[in-house]
Amino acid sequence: MTALPTTLAAAGPGAVSAAASGAVQERAWLLVALPLAGAAVLLLGGRRLNRWGHWLAVAMSWSAFVWGVMLFASLHGQAPDDRSRTLHLFTWVPAGNFQLDAGLLLDPLSVAFVLMVTFVASLIHVYSVAYMEHDPDRRRFFAYMNLFVASMLLLVLADSYALLYVGWEGVGLASYLLIGFWNHNPDYAAAAKKAFVANRVGDLGLTVAIMIMFATFGGVTYTQVLSGVDGASEGTLTAIGLLLLLGACGKSAQFPLQSWLGDAMAGPTPVSALIHAATMVTAGVYLVVRSGPIYEAAGTAQLLVVIVGAVTLVFGAVVGCAKDDIKKALAASTMSQIGYMMLAAGLGPVGYVFAIFHLLAHGFFKAGMFLGAGSVMHGMDGCVDMRGFGRLGGVMKVTWLTFAAGWLAILGVPPFSGFFSKDKIIETAFATGDGARPWLVGSVALVGAGITAFYMSRLFFMTFHGGQRWARDSHPHESGLLMTVPMVVLALGSVGLGGALAFDDTFLNWLEPATGVAHEEDPVIAAAAVQGLTLALVAAGVALAWARYWRAEVPVTAPAGNPLTVAARKDLYQDQVNEVLLMQSGQYLTRSLVFVDNRGVDGVVRGTAAAIGGLAGRLRRWQTGFVRSYATSMTAGVIAVVLGVVAVRI
Amino acid sequence: MTATVTAAPLMAAASTDMAGGEAVMFCTVAPIMVLAALGLLFARKAVHAALGMALVMVLLGIVYLAQDAPFLGAVQVFVYTGAVMMLFLFVLMLIGVESGDSLVETIRGQRVLGIGFSLGLAVLLVGVLWQVPFGAPAGTEAANENGNVTALAEQIFGTYVWAFEVTGALLITAVLGAMVLTHRERSERRPAQAELARLRIRTGPVKAPLPAPGVFARHNAVDTPALLPDGTPCDESVSRVLVARGQTQEAEVYVRGTARICSELSSPLDGPPGPGDRGGTGEDGEDGGAATGKEGEPQ
Amino acid sequence: MLSAVLFSIGAATVLLRRNAIIVFMGVELMLNSANLAFVTFGRMAGDIDGQVIALFVMLVAAAEVVVGLAVITAVFRTRRSASVDDANLLKY
C-alpha cells in the first residue's frame, strides 16, 4: 500500500520546487504580514482604537483571504506538475554548516489550508464583532485573533520545519492568550496554562525531531529532509516520526496529550470555534501529512499514528457522550474527529488526501456548530449546561437550521460533506494493511462513527428539541445579523463542500502533487458494504439519542449514571492520570531535590561551618591567658623542632 | 646531680683540648654555676634569686676570660653583673620585696609539664651535643694577634658595622620605650607646698606638723613606738617595714615606768584629775609646762 | 654542654615561677647560656666571630632588660601584683 515517491521525484513531496513567479506569488508573504500588522496596530494603538479596531482586524483577515484566493487562482493556472513554488524571503540563519533561509512554500497542500483558514477565520472575525460587543477588551481580542491568523498562515506556508516551528509557537501563544482572555478568573487562567504546558510537552518532541533532522540531513527545510529520506536509517526515521507525532499530539489534543482541550473551552466561543475546532488543532495533522515520506519509510511510526488516531477517536467519542456542557461536548467531538484525521494520515498517501479532506470539511461544520453554540449561549445569557436548554429550535430558527446542517454533516449523512470524507476514511481503514489490521482499524472507525452519531444527536436534541427546561428568567432570542450570516455561510459549506470536492476526484487530483500518488486498494469488505454498515450504525445512534433525549424527559439535574458515564464525565480520569503520572512524580522529584539541596548541599556547607565552629571552640581553650602556658607550648615547640632537625641530620 | 653528670664527659673533653689549669678552673666553676642557677630556680624570695643570678653572671665572666675572650669577660661583669643585675634589684625594690611566690601552683599541670619539658630539653640538647665530635679547639690566639680588643673592633667596625649601628638605634629605642612605659601622666597639677599645708589643716586629723622622729621618744631604739602625750603608743613612729617584718618592740615597759614616775610625782598634789588618769597628768603637766614655758617666752 | 644545662634551667624558671622578675631573670639566664655557647664555639673554630656575636647579644639583651623591666613596672603600677598569672585577660 505504500506509495512510490521516488518515481515522482519531480513532482512529489520533497521535490525541489521552482521559484515563485508572478506578482501574486511573489507577494505571498502578505498573507502573513497583513494580519500580523493588524495585530501590532491593535496592540500598540491603545484605547483610542476601541471604536473601530475590530473592523481593522476583520479587514485584515478578509484581505488575507482575498490574497489566498488569488494565490489559488495563480497556482491553478499552472500545470499540475508545476504547482509547487518556493518564495525566498530572507537569509535567516547563516551559521557556517547550518544555512537556513526563511521562505514560503506555495503548493496545493498549503494553499488548501490557507483558503480554509482565512475563510473560516474571517467569518469568525465578523461573528466576534457582535459576540464580543459588550466586552471592554474587544480590541485586544481582535489583536490576538489576528496574531493567531498570522501564525497559522506562517505555519502552513513555511518551507522548513524551523519556520513551521515559529508558526507553531505563535499559534500556541495565541491560543494561550485567547483561552485565558478573561484571565481575571483564575480557572480560565489555569486552563490557559494547562493548554500551554500540554502543548509544550508536544513541542519538545518537535524540537528534538528538528535537531535530529539537522544531525541526519544537514538541514531542516522540507526539500532537504524529505528528499534525503532514502539515505537515512530506519531507526532515525522512526525516531523522527515518533517525535513529530508527539508534537502533533500536543497541538492536536490527541492521546496522550489530550487533556487540555476540554478546559480550553474557558475561552470565548469564537476562540473555540476558530482555534480549537477548525485550525490550530489541525496543525498536527498538517505536520504529519507534510512529513509523509518520513512516515512511509518508518512503518512503526506510521502504525503508531494510526493507533493514536484510533484511541483518540474512541476516547473523544466516549467522553462526548457524557458531557452536559455544550462546548465541552463539542470539544470532545473535535478530539474524536481529529482522531479520524490522524488515523487517516497514518494510512499512507491515500489517507493523506482524505485526512485533509475531512479536515477541511470538519473546519466548516465544526466551526459552524461552535458558532451555533455561541449563539445559543448568547441567547441563554451565557448558560452552557444543556440540561437547561431544550426546545430552542422554535425560538432560534436560524441557529437551529445552521446547527442542523453541521450535525448532519458530522454524522456523515449523504449528501452532506461529512459523508464524503468520513466514509472514505473508513473505507481506507478497511483497505490498508494485511491480516487483522484492516479489520481492527476499520471496525474501530466504524464503531466510532456510530458513537459519534449518538452523542452528536444527543447534543442536538437536548439543545433544540425535547421538553423545555429553561431557567425562569431566560429569554432566548435569535442573534443579530453579524452572528447569523457567518453561521449561514458555514452551514452552506457544511452542506456543499464535500460534494464539490469529491466530484470527479477534484480534491484528490489537486492534492496529489503534494502528497504523492495515492494507490487505492480494495477494502476487505466491499465499499458499498462499508457505506451501508456506516449508515446503519449512524441511524442506530440517532435513534437511540432520539429515544432518550427527545421523546423521553431529560432530567434537569444529571442522574448518577453507570460507572462508564461517571468516568466519561470526568474525561475518563485523564486529569487524575496526568496528576499521578506526571505531576506527582514531578513534585516528588522536586521535593527530593529540595531535600537533597537542603540537607545535602546546605548540610555540607552548614556542617563545614559547624565543624569549624566546633573546632574553633575547642582550640579556643588554648588561650588561657597565662603566659606560662604559652611558654610551655613554646618549649614544646622548640623541643619538637630540635628533634626534627636531629632526626633529619641523623 | 646534674652538675657532676654533665661535668664528667666535659672533663673527658676538657682533658683533650684544654690546658690543665683551665680544666681545673672549669670543673670548679661549672658546678657552682649550675648550683647558682638552681638557686635562681628554687629560691623563695626574689632577692635570693637575684643574688643567685648575679653569681652566675660573675662566674660566666670568669669562664669568658678563660676562653681567650678577655674583653667579653670584662664586659660581662661590668654590664651584666653591674648594670643589669643592679637594675633588676632596683625594680625588685620598687615592686616589693615581700612578694614571694606561694608554692601552690595555680595552672593545672603546669608544674608537671614545665619540669617535664625542661628536663626533656636538657636531655635532648645534651644528647645532641654529646654526639658532636669536638676536635681540638683552634683557639683564638691567631685571631687575637693584635690584641683581643683590636680584633673585636676590627670585626665590629668592619664586617658588622651595619649591625652595630642598628643595635645602637635599638638601644636608644629601648630607652625611649622604657621612659614611655613608666611615664605617669599627672592628671592634676602637683600640689605645691602651700597647697599641701592648707589641705592638711583643713582635712587632716593632725593640725600640727608631725613630730620629728624621736620627739616622743623615751628611748633611742627605732623599733619601739614612741608614746603620745596621753601615754598610748604612737604607731606611726615605727617604720612600716619593721612592722611588716614583725621586728618591733612593745612599749609597755616604758609605759609602766613612766606611769610609776608620774604617780610618784603627782601624789603630793591634790590637783583635779586631768584627762588620762593613768598618770598622764604628770605628762600633761610637764608637757603643758613645757608648752606654756615655750609660749610664755615670746610674750 | 654547660650552656645546654643552663639554658634548660632558665627555661624551667620561665615555666615554673610566678614572680615576673624571676621569670625575667630566667630569660636572662637563657640568653647568657647562649652567649657562652657562642664564645665556646668561636674558640673551637678559631674565629673571633663568636665573640662578636656574643657581644651583640649582650647589647640586645641589655636593651631588652630595660624595656622588659619598664613593662613590668607599668603592669605592676596598675595591677599592684607582680604575678604573671594575674595578667590573664587575653583568655578566651
The reply to whether B126 and B218 lie within a common domain is: no
Name chain A contacts of B118, Cβ cutoff 8 Å.
Answer: 635
CA-closest candidate to residue A374, choices A493, A276, A518, A252 = A276
Cα A320 vs. chain centroid, distance in angstroms?
A: 18
Burial A403-434 (b: 16+ CB within 10 A, else e): bbbbbbbbbbbeebbbbbbbbbbbbbbbbbbe
Q: Which of A625, A628, A635 sits opposite C91 (nearest CB)?
A: A625
CA–CA dist B252, B148 (Å, integer): 68
What local confidence, expressed as pLDDT, does residue B58 receive?
A: 92
Residue B133 grid coordinates:
665530635
Evaluate if pTM is beyond 0.90: no
DSSP state at residue A519: -
Number of structural domains (chain C) is 1
What local confidence, expressed as pLDDT, does residue B215 receive?
A: 61
CA–CA dist A405, A371 (Å, integer): 13
Cα C82 vs. chain centroid, distance in angstroms?
A: 17
Give the CATH number, domain containing residue C72: 1.10.287.3510
What local confidence, expressed as pLDDT, does residue A385 receive?
A: 81
Residues in CB range of A355: below 8 A, 6 or more apart: A285, A289, A341, A342, A344, A345, A425
Contact state of C40 with B40 under an 8 Å Cβ cutoff: no
At B4-42, the pLDDT tens digits run: 333 333 433 443 345 677 788 888 888 999 999 988 888
Name chain B contacts of C47, Cβ cutoff 8 Å.
Answer: 138, 140, 143
Q: Is B172 domain-assigned?
A: no
Domain that includes residue B252, residue range: 211-286
At B218, the pLDDT band (50, 70, 90 cuts) reads low
Q: Is B178 domain-assigned?
A: no
At A597-611, the pLDDT tens digits run: 888 888 888 888 999
> Interface partners of A (3+ CB pairs, < 8 Å)?
B, C
| B71 CA: distance to closest CA in chain C (Å) | 9
CA angle B290–B291–B296, rounded 5-degree value = 100
| B125 CA: distance to closest CA in chain C (Å) | 6
CA–CA dist B205, A82 (Å, integer): 136
Mean pLDDT to the nearest integer, B263-279 = 59
> Interface partners of B (3+ CB pairs, < 8 Å)?
A, C
The reply to whether B157 and B216 lie within a common domain is: no
Q: Is C86 domain-assigned?
A: no
CA-closest candidate to residue A177, choices A133, A147, A139 = A147
Mean pLDDT to the nearest integer, A140-153 = 92
Residue B281 grid coordinates:
597628768
Contact state of B128 with A646 under an 8 Å Cβ cutoff: yes
The reply to whether B156 and B256 lie within a common domain is: no
Q: Is B181 domain-assigned?
A: no
Name chain A contacts of B119, Cβ cutoff 8 Å.
Answer: none
The reply to whether B217 and B271 lie within a common domain is: yes
Q: Is C33 domain-assigned?
A: yes
Q: Is C10 domain-assigned?
A: yes
Q: Which of A632, A642, A646 sits opposite B110 (nearest CB)?
A: A632
Chain A residues near any Cβ of chain B (below 8 Å):
624, 626, 628-629, 632, 635-636, 638-639, 642-643, 646
What local confidence, expressed as pLDDT, does residue B10 receive?
A: 44
Can you say whether residue A485 is alpha, beta or left, with left for phi > 0 and alpha for psi between -120 and 50 degrees? alpha
| B114 CA: distance to closest CA in chain A (Å) | 6
The reply to whether B53 and B160 lie within a common domain is: yes
What local confidence, expressed as pLDDT, does residue A267 receive?
A: 85
Give the CATH number, domain containing residue B35: 1.20.120.1200
Contact state of C82 with B99 under an 8 Å Cβ cutoff: yes
Q: Is C62 domain-assigned?
A: yes
Can you say whether residue A105 is alpha, beta or left, with left for phi > 0 and alpha for psi between -120 and 50 degrees? beta
Contact state of B114 with A632 under an 8 Å Cβ cutoff: yes
Q: Is C88 domain-assigned?
A: no
Q: Percentage of chain A with pLDDT > 90? A: 11
| B112 CA: distance to closest CA in chain A (Å) | 11
Contact state of B117 with A646 under an 8 Å Cβ cutoff: no
Contact state of A638 with B110 under an 8 Å Cβ cutoff: no
At B269, the pLDDT band (50, 70, 90 cuts) reads low
Residues 18-47 of C with CB under 8 A from B: 18-22, 24-26, 28-29, 32, 35-36, 39-40, 42-47
| C36 CA: distance to closest CA in chain B (Å) | 8
Number of structural domains (chain B) is 2
Q: How many residues does chain C have?
A: 92
What local confidence, expressed as pLDDT, does residue B9 receive?
A: 39
The reply to whether B130 and B238 lie within a common domain is: no
Q: Is B3 domain-assigned?
A: no
Residue A3 has pLDDT above 70, yes or no: no
Q: Is B183 domain-assigned?
A: no
Residue B174 has pLDDT above 70, yes or no: yes
The reply to whether B248 and B126 lie within a common domain is: no
The reply to whether B19 and B127 lie within a common domain is: yes
- Looking only at the bridges linking them, the beta strands covering A98-106 and B226-227 are unpaired
At B296, the pLDDT band (50, 70, 90 cuts) reads very low
Residues 28-57 of C with CB under 8 A from A: none
Q: Is B298 domain-assigned?
A: no
Q: What is the 3-class SS of A427-477, one letter each residue?
A: HHHHHCCCCCHHHHHHHHHHHHHHHHHHHHHHHHHHHHCCCCCCCCCCCCC
For the ranges B64-78, B179-193, C68-82, the one whose mean pLDDT is highest? B64-78
The reply to whether B87 and B233 lie within a common domain is: no
CA–CA dist A100, A90 (Å, integer): 9
With a cut of 70, which residues of chain C have pLDDT below it? 82, 87-88, 90-92
Q: Is B197 domain-assigned?
A: no
CA-closest candidate to residue C33, choices C21, C43, C25 = C25
Mean pLDDT to the nearest integer, A206-234 = 86
- Answer for the pair B250, B226: CB distance below 8 angstroms, yes or no: no
The reply to whether B160 and B250 lie within a common domain is: no
Amino acid occupying residue B269: L
Q: Is the ipTM of this complex over 0.85?
A: yes
What local confidence, expressed as pLDDT, does residue A220 receive?
A: 85
The reply to whether B130 and B237 lie within a common domain is: no
Residue A165 has pLDDT above 90, yes or no: yes
| C92 CA: distance to closest CA in chain B (Å) | 16
| C53 CA: distance to closest CA in chain B (Å) | 9
CA–CA dist A400, A397 (Å, integer): 5
Residue B286 has pLDDT above 60, yes or no: no
CA–CA dist B160, B151 (Å, integer): 12
Q: Which of C16, C87, C92 sits opposite A627 (nearest CB)?
A: C87
The reply to whether B36 and B94 lie within a common domain is: yes
At A5, the pLDDT band (50, 70, 90 cuts) reads very low
Q: Is B117 domain-assigned?
A: yes
- Specify the residue for cell string 458515564: A565
Average per-residue pLDDT in chain A? 84
At A8, the pLDDT band (50, 70, 90 cuts) reads very low
Contact state of C87 with A624 under an 8 Å Cβ cutoff: no
Domain that includes residue C9, residue range: 2-79
